[in-house]
Amino acid sequence: MSLSTLGIVKRSIDRADAGAVAALSRFGVATVHEAMGRIGLMDPNIRPIYKGAHLCGTVVTVLMQPGDNWMLHVAAEQIRPGDVVVAACTAESTDGFFGDLLATSFRARGAVGLVIDGGARDVEDLEEMGFPVFSRAIHAKGTVKATLGSVNVPVVCAGAIVHPGDVVIGDADGVVVVPAALAAATAEAAAKREANETAKRARLAAGELGLDMYQMREPLAKAGLRYID
């Protein structure tokens, strides 16, 4: 028995329900994160490589070695239409693991984006292609193809646990991961939250204070807030 999860490609994964993914794609990252009870976010160093990049899809995970993008090539074969590749690394690395050639290959397989806890390059080409990438860095540094990692094992990517088949959503506010089993319920909760927010927005725009709308004055006074002149 191997102790390690390295050197493995899992071919059959259970992807989140397509309807739930479609439903989730209508919401922003902040809304989905709130709908889940304020969990599931990657850390804020993961940023879109170009303005306006958005993605929502089912996850193919990759575990890479620092400075080595071999497993991204292995992952390409596992991509199904609508997938997003989520690439973690066994150690912090800002090298340019991903560029326009891999994006061409990923897109030909049906991928709708990449989230990578590492660096990307050819970012002008990627923007022109409209292939959304969320990464820790932008760096031209090339990588080798020498050491095994894995595909479709659970990974920690930028502080978030990600399982193959989960839903990942990225926009200007960051990246959130929704476990496959919770996708439908999260979409429903997000819809409720958004409806709720629309009503609140109108009241706030009309000049009502959050202090009154959320009934904060009493708890603030209880906590000891003092007004002075």
Interacting positions 135-164 with a copy of itself (CB under 8 A): 137-142, 144-148, 154, 156, 159-161
Query: What residues numbered 24-63 form the site for a copy of itself, per CB under 8 A?
Result: 28-30, 33-39, 41, 43-44, 47, 51
Q: How far is the CB of 83 from a copy of itself (least distance, A)?
A: 15
Considering only 14, 18, 108, 128, the residue that binds a copy of itself (CB under 8 A) is 108
Rounded least distance, CB 135 to a copy of itself, Å: 10
C-alpha–C-alpha distance, residues 98 and 143, integer Å = 9
Q: Which of 17, 25, 82, 105 binds a copy of itself (CB under 8 A)?
A: 105
Does 191 help bind a copy of itself (rule: CB under 8 A)?
no
Q: Are 92 and 116 in contact (CB under 8 A)?
A: no
* Residues 121 and 140: beta-carbon distance below 8 Å: yes
DSSP secondary structure string, 43-109? PTT-EESSTT--EEEEEEEEEEBTTB-HHHHHHHTT--TTEEEEEEESS---SEEE-HHHHHHHHHT
Residue 195 touches a copy of itself, criterion: CB under 8 A: no
Q: Counting contacts by CB under 8 A, is residue 215 touching a copy of itself?
A: no
The residue whose two tokens read 């102790």 is 3
- List, in sequence order, every beta strand (DSSP E) within 111-191: 114-120, 133-138, 150-151, 155-157, 160-162, 167-171, 174-178
Q: Is 167 in the site for a copy of itself (CB under 8 A)?
A: no
Task: Check binding of 224 to a copy of itself (CB under 8 A).
Answer: yes
Q: Maximum Cα–Cα distance for the chain, whole Å?
A: 72
Q: Is 101 in the site for a copy of itself (CB under 8 A)?
A: yes
Among 19, 81, 130, 210, binds a copy of itself (CB under 8 A): 210
Q: What's the min distance (Å) between Cβ of 11 and a copy of itself?
A: 5
